[in-house]
Amino acid sequence: MKSKTPIHGNCHLCGRYRQLTYEHIPPQAAFNNHTILYDDIVKLLTKGFDQPFKGKQQQGGIGRYTLCSDCNSFTGREYGAPYVSWCMQGMEVLHRTASNPFIDMPFHIFPLRVLKQIVSMFLSVNGIGWRNANMDLVEFVYLPKRKYLSRKYSVYAFYSVSAIQRQSGTAIRFCTNERFENLGMDAFSEITFPPFGYVMTVDNDAHDSRLVDISYFANRAENELRMEYLKLPVLPIFTSYPGDYRTKEEIEEDIRTNERRDRERANQSL
């Protein structure tokens, strides 16, 4: 939500203490602006691009105060348009396949710039401490020509057509089996906003095998416009928990299982 009073803090890109500007995540032109009601994006996917947008206006689009004005204009100038083009193509794929893309779809994009925009969004949704601990990512975003990401970083993508959008800084998820035995944990950040969702991990594998690794976008050159073929899954999102891709039926089944378990425990303790 936009603030009426100036907000100061450390910029999540350059790190300097400055007045911060409202950073739209994703960029405004990628279906995140005040003239589009969020629900309309989802309707767009079912009804098509010819339908006019209707509905009341959303206040300013989704985002947060994370970047100084210099860094905000810098990322917008360098990566904004390529990122928006990637999103438009993603919307088009979902629309043309009725949200069921089952083959590799071609994306005519600047892969390196798209990835830099995605990484800059992860710098924004994570705290300043995360930025300071991952200066390699700062450099990656700051230098448009800089290629390659360190192997410890992975960025994954999927399609999201859900009306629920999630932006989470690093979340820790404890994994258990059916008997609640600990299977370890994984840490990841997640950003979802139609048409895409992204997961970023540091020194960690993806927590869901359906996620598609797009870290190789970092190996392309700055001005390399090319065709990337991608077969991304449409992952269901029905809760606000990062990393939760259960279908409605799976969630209902889990609720029933938990209730049954609670009843059994209550009976045992009688």
- Binding interface with Zn ion (CB under 5 A): 11, 13-14, 68, 71
CB of 131 to Zn ion, least distance (A): 11
Give the C-alpha separation, 29 to 89, whole Å: 13
- Cβ distance to Zn ion smaller for residue 71 or 87: 71
The answer to whether 75 touches 141, Cβ cutoff 8 Å, is: yes
60 DSSP 8-state letter: S
Give the C-alpha separation, 48 to 68, whole Å: 37
- Cβ distance to Zn ion smaller for residue 14 or 164: 14
CB of 82 to Zn ion, least distance (A): 21
- Cβ distance to Zn ion smaller for residue 11 or 199: 11
CB of 72 to Zn ion, least distance (A): 8
User: CB-based burial of residue 229 (10 Å sphere; 0-12 exposed, 13-18 middle, 19+ buried)?
Assistant: exposed
Give the C-alpha separation, 62 to 85, whole Å: 19
The answer to whether 207 touches 154, Cβ cutoff 8 Å, is: no
CB of 18 to Zn ion, least distance (A): 6
Residues 6+ away with beta carbon under 8 Å from 114 = 79, 82, 83, 86, 217
Place of tokens 């869901």: 208
CB of 80 to Zn ion, least distance (A): 16
CB of 145 to Zn ion, least distance (A): 19
